[in-house]
Amino acid sequence: MRNRTIDFLLYGHGGFGNRGCEAIVRATAALLGEALPGARLALCSLRPWEDAPAPGSLRVLPQRAPVRGAQRWINAVARRLGDAPDNLEARRQAPALRAARRAEVCLSIGGDTYCYQPPRDLYAINRRLVAMGRPTALWGCSVDPSLLHGELLADLRRYARLFARESITCEALRAAGLPAELSADPAFTLAAEAIPLPPGFVAGETVGLNISPLALAHAPDSEAALAAVLALVRHALRVTPGPVALLPHVRWAHDDDMQPLARIRAAFADEPRVLLLDAPYTAPQIKSLIARMRCLVAARTHATIAAYSSAVPTLALGYSVKALGIARDLYGAEQGHVLPMAELCSPAELTAALDALLARAEAERALLQTAAQAQAARAGQAAATVAAWLEDRA
């Protein structure tokens, strides 16, 4: 079985403009390649132009067709004639469905796709993959437990396998009657790519900071939350001798970390110890920078995973179940390790959380050395489970 060529289709990928999406793809490709040396992987991407260079022999394909010209007219007529929205969406996802014809197994790799708005593109794809007889798995997922009903729950039941990346999701899926398996985020296994440190970055002394528009949108008052982050930077400059590095992790037009980080840098325009790391670093390169930080305060999940897996003390600015679940699995409890954005009310709360992080840094590094290795092993076991599943089907 392991010497046989197996065609995988990975779909639900947003594009490497989100370094978390990139980390999932790179780590998944490596894990599957190790578990199944004969694996061939095709990646259906919503933004294929972002995904170069792709890792290894991974083929990058568009997930959806552009809607223009005659197709726009056809869709308009179909809507007037009462064609179901699901059929319209399926036509848009036609490239992914064509690619699935060559695949032996299809992995939905969107991570937190089931945490926010209903993923109607996945609903349309999954219905048709089941009709085509293609086995599917939801890979390394987080799912908001409050959404486990109706159409979303029905769609999750279409998957042959469900691999939850943290225990809150796994327990919620099982409580809903779904046969979920606890794995871990594949990015815990991502290999870092060593690069020279940027000017002003001091290894072992730099405090990293990531904040995102998505996280700020979950705060009771986004401007007040940003003011609290500014207070955090001022406090870090007072209580630590090193620089503060502002680290963007997603660079999409509709969700660009540079928007809040540029405002923070502008507020400290005369402070040379505040660095904006705005070079086009890849996910493995970002991990190598995070690995040399003193600590990290971050909203983006895969920025925190890069830190956790490098044994760097971390405070997550959480806005969904994924931050809570991953912290619970690492530390045994999320309290003190995740500051929910929905509860961020004052600068004092954030600066106190940084003080606590610095105070426990030595103990946290030691804990993460073991806990993150366990997460990486769990991700590897999930890939081995996929291999065994395919052997049973052969």
pLDDT single digits (tens) 251-310 = 999 999 999 999 999 999 999 999 999 999 999 999 999 999 999 999 999 999 999 999
Instruction: Report residue 68's pLDDT band, with 50, 70 and 90 as the boundaries.
Output: low
Q: pLDDT above 70 covers what percent of the chain?
A: 94
Is residue 267 within 8 A of residue 246, CB to CB? The reply is no
pLDDT at 83 over 80: no
pLDDT at 151 over 80: yes
pLDDT the model gives residue 82: 57
Q: Write the DSSP string, 274-322.
A: EEE--S---HHHHHHHHTTSSEEEESSHHHHHHHHTTT--EEE---SHH
pLDDT at 375 over 70: yes
End-to-end C-alpha distance for the chain, whole angstroms? 8
Domains in the chain, start-ordered, CATH in brackets? 6-183 (3.40.50.2000), 207-373 (3.40.50.2000)
Is residue 43 within 8 A of residue 59, CB to CB? The reply is yes
pLDDT at 371 over 80: yes
> What tokens were used for 218?
């979950």
Distance CA 73, CA 79 (A): 10
SS3 113: coil
pLDDT at 73 over 80: no
Query: What φ, ψ does residue 333 adopt, rounded to 5°?
Result: -160, 150
Taking phi first (over 0 means left), then psi (-120 to 50 degrees means alpha), and beta for anything else, what does residue 279 get? beta
Is residue 249 within 8 A of residue 257, CB to CB? The reply is yes
Tell me what the pLDDT averaged over the chain comes to.
92
SS3 265: helix
- For 83-105, b where at least 16 C-beta lie within 10 A, e where not — what string? eeeeebbbbbbebbbebbeebbb
pLDDT the model gives residue 32: 95
Q: pTM to 2 decimals?
A: 0.94
